[in-house]
Amino acid sequence: MSKPTLFEDLRQEVDVEPGRSPFFYRKAFRRLSKRYAADPQRLIRDEMRDRTSDDPDDNMIRRFPKQGHLFMFEYSSEKDNVSVFDPFPLVFVIKVEGSSFLGCNLHYIHPLKRGIVVENLRRNKLTLPYNSVSKYNISQIKGLLLDVARSEWTSASNLPIEDFVSIKDGKSRSINITDVWKNNNRSFRKMLRGALIYKGYGTNDEDFKG
């Protein structure tokens, strides 16, 4: 049997103690997620092992993104100079266009407001701040994508794995997360609004199907 993923650990711990306060949940979440903070790619490795277990969860490993899904992946910059860059984004895919896709990186949204955005997504409603929306090139994704199960969107959005960096002359330097949130908060009201459009992977919806 494979080792439980973070999402499974969380569900088991919270389910064992029903009726706990949100504070207990957040504390458990922070404690369990620490092992991923320094190595976000571990989420994908753990999920790959989970797919071979007798009781896999609903998260999937993908080669390609699809509209209406929420993905975690490692991303590289094609530029030598970038003021703010997130090397392991959590992206809701708005639209796929050939070899690129438009997506909202939830990490750019302050956690308190992020919760509202995610809850709206779960209700099939888009309220995405424009300053969190970017174009991503599939060729710059390093490795595979973790397609987060809809039931896990809230848990995934609360993972403390944001690690914003600036890139100058090809060298990255960590920047203060709260500064990024504070700067983006100034234009939070400028939203991309609409209804969520979900596209599936077809009838043979298994690992690595694009």
User: Pairing between strand 70-75 and 82-85?
Assistant: unpaired
Give pLDDT, residue 209.
40
DSSP label of 151:
G
205 part of a folded domain: no
99 part of a folded domain: yes
93 residue type, one letter: V
Confidence bin at 84 (pLDDT 50/70/90): very high
30 part of a folded domain: yes
Q: Enter the pTM of the model.
A: 0.84
Euclidean distance between CA atoms 67 and 102, whole angstroms: 9
CA–CA–CA angle 206, 209, 210 (5° rounding): 150
201 part of a folded domain: no
> How many other CB atoms are there within 10 angstroms of residue 194's CB atom?
12
Give pLDDT, residue 207.
44
pLDDT digits (tens, 9 = 90+) for 137-154: 999 999 999 999 998 899
Residue 36's nearest CA partner among 5, 1, 61 is 5
200 part of a folded domain: no
What lies within 8 Å, CB to CB, of 12 at 6+ separation is 4
Mean of the per-residue pLDDT values of the chain: 85
What is the CA 96 to chain-centroid distance, rounded? 17
- Which domain does 87 fall in, by range? 6-195
Domain count, the chain: 1
Give pLDDT, residue 3.
65
203 part of a folded domain: no
| 26-32, Cβ contacts within 8 angstroms, sequence gap of 24 or more | 26/158, 29/155, 29/158, 30/160, 32/6
42 part of a folded domain: yes
Give pLDDT, residue 183.
87
Residue 18 has pLDDT above 60, yes or no: no
Give pLDDT, residue 53.
72
pLDDT digits (tens, 9 = 90+) for 154-198: 988 988 888 899 999 999 999 999 999 998 887 777 899 999 999
Give pLDDT, residue 55.
67
- Contact by Cβ (8 Å): 53, 2: yes
Residues above pLDDT 70, as percent of the chain? 84
96 part of a folded domain: yes
134 residue type, one letter: S
Give pLDDT, residue 105.
97
Euclidean distance between CA atoms 104 and 107, whole angstroms: 9
